[in-house]
């Protein structure tokens, strides 16, 4: 019995080794997928987080519906502000770990920046619910 099994396995291995080799099927290469990391949408009445880290707002562009609250958290050791470009709202100085929240009730585009670091800027786009 053992001999028959060994002969059968040997035959399978020999046949497999002698089988014609086929070229691998080419795989279509697709372009890399660009993830939408700059835009986040949320339902009205929700709170959406924006982090301040590495002297930048993340995300840089945020799309929300009217009635949504945005909460910024400063993760940097440096102080930052969140200040509307038109001066209509602002946080004042925020130290590391501090937060600031603002509820956007009206549709529109709201540009904001850090008053301390001129290169830090971002935008909130508020759509109708």
Tens digit of each residue's pLDDT, the chain (129 residues):
555 545 454 554 555 555 555 555 555 444 443 333 445 556 667 999 999 999 999 999 999 999 999 999 999 999 999 999 999 999 999 999 999 999 999 999 999 999 999 999 999 999 998
Q: What are phi and psi of 12, to 5 degrees?
A: -65, -45
Q: Which CATH class is domain 47-127?
A: mainly beta
| CA atoms within a 13 Å half-sphere pointing along the CA-CB vector of 120 | 23
Threshold 0.75, pTM exceeds: no
**Domain ranges, ordered by start, for the chain:** 47-127
Burial class (CB in 10 A: 0-12, 13-18, 19+), 19: exposed
């Amino acid at each position: 019995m053992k001999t028959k099994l060994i002969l059968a396995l040997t035959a399978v291995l020999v046949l497999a080794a002698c089988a014609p080799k086929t070229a691998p099927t080419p795989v279509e290469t697709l372009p890399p997928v660009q993830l939408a990391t700059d835009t986040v949408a949320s339902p009205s009445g929700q709170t959406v987080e924006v982090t301040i880290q590495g002297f930048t707002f993340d995300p840089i562009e945020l799309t929300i519906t009217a009635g949504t609250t945005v909460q910024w958290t400063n993760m940097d050791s440096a102080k930052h502000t969140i200040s509307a470009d038109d001066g209509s709202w602002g946080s004042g100085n925020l130290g590391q770990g501090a937060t600031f929240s603002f509820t956007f009730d009206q549709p529109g585009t709201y540009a904001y920046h850090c008053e301390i670091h001129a290169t830090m800027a971002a935008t909130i786009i508020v759509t109708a619910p």
